[in-house]
């Protein structure tokens, strides 16, 4: 068997068959997956149930693992004493479960992370380097909702009004790790926690190194535009986000247990969707850093 890809949406998204990610991958398959990521922006693999350790080792084949927000967790008073549920710092627990494997109370601070994930974002755009690929595996799913939506930032750029293209060309936005959480009312962070992720700036218009396509690098971690007042910058960022997330640019993934979705954070934004938080929703995420290194 070799990797084959079927397009699931007019603009992006490939469904992959012919590969078992739990087995060591051949160099040709890894190359084919990188190539498919460049053209499709995100890939769906079915029937890939695996342990956290398998997911960590599998992800290493695609790049350098990164920790993202887990780095701040140890400095967060509410989470400092909790070991990662997955057993590995590189395998993020994207669940609503506590250490007793039951859904946490909706007032638990962990829920803030679940809520922030329901806002459109690119993983780790608040750090330099940011995330390249995220790989999210569905373990337990609620009876309704909890889908993940993705939008195509390349198509969104292509369809910008020419005057808007001229407006955003050369502009830079500041991204900050805690912006979305503070916006949601979770603002009790120590100076030490705040200092873990100093703000970083990224061009709003970037060219993807693989596809060579221009794209809008935005999302909820962007909190201001350099050279503009906070108000003008935020309204511009909100306008761009509204444009990029119109239904024609969006794919909604309805999860099945064992689905693994791999997306390119340089080409897409994503958000989780609402579900009944009394029910279990458990996914696990690994992430590669946007650096060229051993793969």
Interacting residue ranges for Fe ion, rule: CB under 5 A: 123
Q: Indicate the residue among 123 and 186 with the shorter CB distance to Fe ion.
A: 123
Residue 117's nearest CA partner among 295, 271, 238 is 271
* β-bridge pairing 14-17 and 42-45: parallel
CB of 270 to Fe ion, least distance (A): 6
The Cα 102–Cα 188 span in angstroms is 25
Q: Indicate the residue among 133 and 160 with the shorter CB distance to Fe ion.
A: 133
Q: Indicate the residue among 123 and 149 with the shorter CB distance to Fe ion.
A: 123
CB of 285 to Fe ion, least distance (A): 7
Q: Indicate the residue among 32 and 287 with the shorter CB distance to Fe ion.
A: 287
Residues 131-170: b if buried by 16+ CB within 10 A, e if exposed: bbbbbbbbbebbeeebebbbbbbbbbbebbeeebeeebee
Q: Torsions phi, psi of 201, nearest 5?
A: -115, 145
And the tokens for 248? 């024609």
The sign of the CA dihedral 213, 12, 179, 77 is negative
- Residue with the CB atom nearest Fe ion in the bound state: 123
CB of 130 to Fe ion, least distance (A): 12
CB of 57 to Fe ion, least distance (A): 22
And the tokens for 152? 């195509």
Q: Which single residue is written with the structure tokens 């444009």? A: 243
CB of 125 to Fe ion, least distance (A): 10
And the tokens for 149? 């939506």
CB of 136 to Fe ion, least distance (A): 8
Q: Indicate the residue among 123 and 282 with the shorter CB distance to Fe ion.
A: 123
The Cα 90–Cα 58 span in angstroms is 12
CA dist 43 → 18, 65, 127 (Å) = 13, 19, 24
Q: Indicate the residue among 48 and 124 with the shorter CB distance to Fe ion.
A: 124
CB of 106 to Fe ion, least distance (A): 20
Rg over CA atoms, the chain: 18
Q: Indicate the residue among 90 and 123 with the shorter CB distance to Fe ion.
A: 123
The Cα 75–Cα 142 span in angstroms is 31
CB of 26 to Fe ion, least distance (A): 29
Q: Torsions phi, psi of 73, nearest 5?
A: -60, -40
Q: Indicate the residue among 123 and 152 with the shorter CB distance to Fe ion.
A: 123
């Amino acid at each position: 068997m070799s990797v084959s890809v079927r397009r699931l949406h007019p603009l992006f998204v490939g469904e992959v068959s012919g590969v078992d990610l739990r087995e060591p991958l051949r160099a040709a398959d890894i190359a084919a997956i990188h190539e498919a990521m460049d053209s499709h922006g995100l890939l769906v693999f079915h029937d890939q149930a695996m342990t956290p350790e398998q997911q960590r080792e599998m992800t290493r084949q695609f790049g350098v693992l990164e920790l993202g927000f887990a780095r701040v967790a140890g400095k967060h008073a509410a989470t400092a004493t909790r070991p990662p549920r997955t057993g590995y710092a590189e395998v993020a627990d994207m669940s609503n479960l506590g250490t007793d494997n039951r859904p946490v109370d909706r007032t638990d601070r962990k829920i803030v992370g679940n809520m922030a994930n329901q806002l459109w974002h690119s993983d780790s755009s608040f750090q330099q380097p940011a995330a390249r690929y995220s790989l999210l595996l569905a373990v337990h799913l609620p009876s309704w909702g909890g889908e993940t939506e993705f939008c195509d930032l390349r198509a969104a750029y292509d369809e910008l009004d020419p005057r808007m293209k001229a407006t955003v060309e050369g502009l830079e936005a500041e991204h900050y790790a805690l912006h979305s959480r503070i916006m949601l009312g979770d603002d009790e962070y120590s100076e030490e926690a705040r200092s873990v992720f100093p703000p970083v700036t990224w061009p709003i218009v970037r060219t993807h190194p693989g596809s060579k396509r221009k794209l809008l690098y935005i999302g909820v971690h962007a909190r201001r535009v350099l050279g503009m007042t906070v108000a003008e910058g935020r309204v511009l960022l909100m306008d761009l986000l509204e444009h990029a997330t119109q239904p024609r640019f969006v794919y909604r993934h309805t999860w099945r247990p064992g689905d693994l979705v791999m997306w390119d954070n340089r080409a897409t934004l994503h958000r989780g969707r609402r579900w009944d938080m009394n029910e279990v929703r458990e996914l696990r995420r690994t992430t590669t850093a946007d650096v060229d290194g051993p793969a």
